[in-house]
């Protein structure tokens, strides 16, 4: 296992060395961890973020990195960034309730914004890794859900991601663009603001009581951000990932109420 890990690190260093990498949404939760990993491989990074949800302190101290504060809908600024060998498209509107109240804004960022990033990739002849979501499945009847299950979103967020995926696939089919789509489950880890971190914040305030919003019967597939970063790195270096779509998750769901119980047991 140790030798296999070393082999992966060596392979990453060889592939990423000297590469020009553009990371949209690079100041966000996943973007921070990805940029931190990429900085170890002597890549030349352009971190592109409008800081609507990302934080500037996430990108300070990242080696070989240039930060651009701009929106992906700003075509002029996006297209003027250095020519990229690889683009990680992480920038997105990810709040499901917001998408239901503001479907136009959600579409603009997640669908039109992805189209602009695809054009940037086509212009630069760059590989594109697109961060999609398991939300494209909606409420699937089959768990774990295979990639072939198809799009059945129940939210505008899931719909905007599904349409963005269709654009990615069309660019691959019509232009031969090297695109890989990764459908993330619920990602957790340091600097995250998801349900796990919410529970941890609550339990710090009161270690004997943990409030659950809703029934707690909802089930989620949770995956640590370090595993997501590994998937992002592998999707760039693996030739067979070209034109493919992959689920990135633990493969097992956990009820929110059971998650709360696990956190309580480990804390008290």
- Convert the pLDDT of each residue in 48-63 to its tens digit: 999 999 999 999 989 9
Distance CA 59, CA 34 (A): 11
What was the pLDDT predicted at 206? 76
Residue with tokens 């590994």: 230
What was the pLDDT predicted at 268? 59
pLDDT at 9 over 80: no
Q: How confident is the model at residue 7 (pLDDT cuts 50, 70, 90)?
A: confident
Count Cβ atoms within 10 A of the Cβ of residue 96 and give its class: 0-12 exposed, 13-18 middle, 19 or more buried. middle
What was the pLDDT predicted at 190? 80
Count Cβ atoms within 10 A of the Cβ of residue 15 and give its class: 0-12 exposed, 13-18 middle, 19 or more buried. middle
Pairing relationship of beta strands 253-255 and 219-224 according to DSSP bridges = antiparallel
Q: Tell me the per-residue pLDDT of 127-143, one tens digit each, with 9 for 90 and over.
A: 999 999 999 999 998 88
**Residue 157 annotated as catalytic:** yes
* Residues above pLDDT 90, as percent of the chain: 70
What was the pLDDT predicted at 143? 84
Higher pLDDT, 47 or 196: 47
What was the pLDDT predicted at 10? 81
Nearest C-alpha neighbor of 234 from the set 20, 26, 8, 25: 8
What tokens does 27 get? 């100041």
pLDDT at 265 over 90: no
Q: Tell me the per-residue pLDDT of 157-202, one tens digit each, with 9 for 90 and over.
A: 999 999 999 999 999 999 999 999 999 998 998 877 677 767 777 7
What was the pLDDT predicted at 49? 99
Distance CA 144, CA 147 (A): 10
For the chain, the average pLDDT equals 91
Q: Tell me the per-residue pLDDT of 208-233, one tens digit each, with 9 for 90 and over.
A: 777 777 676 677 788 999 999 999 99
* Beta bridge partner(s), residue 109: none
Distance CA 161, CA 184 (A): 11
Half-sphere exposure of 62 (CA within 13 A, CB side): 26
Q: Are 156 and 103 in contact (CB under 8 A)?
A: yes
Domains of the chain: 2-186+222-250 (3.40.50.720)
Q: Are 78 and 72 in contact (CB under 8 A)?
A: yes
Which candidate in 157, 167, 188, 208 is catalytic? Answer: 157
The phi, psi pair for 13, rounded to 5°, reads -60, -40
pLDDT at 107 over 80: yes
How many other CB atoms are found less than 10 A from the CB of residue 138? 18
Q: Tell me the per-residue pLDDT of 65-92, one tens digit each, with 9 for 90 and over.
A: 999 999 999 999 999 999 999 999 999 9
């Amino acid at each position: 296992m140790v030798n296999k890990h070393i082999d992966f690190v060596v392979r990453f260093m060889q592939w990423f060395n000297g590469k020009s990498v553009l990371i949209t949404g690079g100041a966000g939760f996943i973007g921070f961890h990805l940029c931190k990993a990429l900085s170890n491989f002597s890549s030349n990074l352009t971190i592109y973020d409008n800081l609507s949800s990302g934080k500037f302190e996430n990108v300070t101290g990242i080696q070989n990195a240039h930060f651009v504060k701009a929106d992906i809908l700003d075509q002029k600024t996006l297209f003027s960034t250095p020519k990229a060998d690889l683009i990680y498209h992480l920038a997105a509107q990810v709040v499901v309730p917001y998408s239901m109240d503001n479907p136009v804004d959600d579409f603009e960022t997640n669908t039109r914004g992805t189209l602009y990033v695809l054009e940037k990739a086509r212009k630069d002849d760059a590989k594109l890794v697109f961060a999609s979501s398991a939300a494209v499945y909606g409420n699937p009847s089959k768990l774990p859900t295979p990639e072939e299950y198809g799009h059945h979103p129940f939210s505008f967020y899931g719909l905007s991601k599904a349409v963005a995926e269709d654009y990615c696939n069309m660019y691959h089919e019509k232009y031969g663009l090297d695109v890989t789509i990764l459908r993330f489950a619920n990602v957790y880890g340091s600097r995250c603001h998801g349900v796990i971190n919410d529970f941890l914040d609550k339990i710090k305030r009161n270690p004997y009581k943990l409030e659950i919003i809703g029934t707690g019967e909802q089930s989620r597939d949770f995956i640590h951000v370090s595993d997501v970063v590994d998937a992002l790195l592998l999707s760039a270096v693996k030739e067979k990932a070209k034109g493919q779509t992959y689920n990135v998750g633990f493969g097992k769901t956990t009820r929110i109420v059971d998650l709360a119980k696990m956190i309580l047991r480990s804390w008290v």
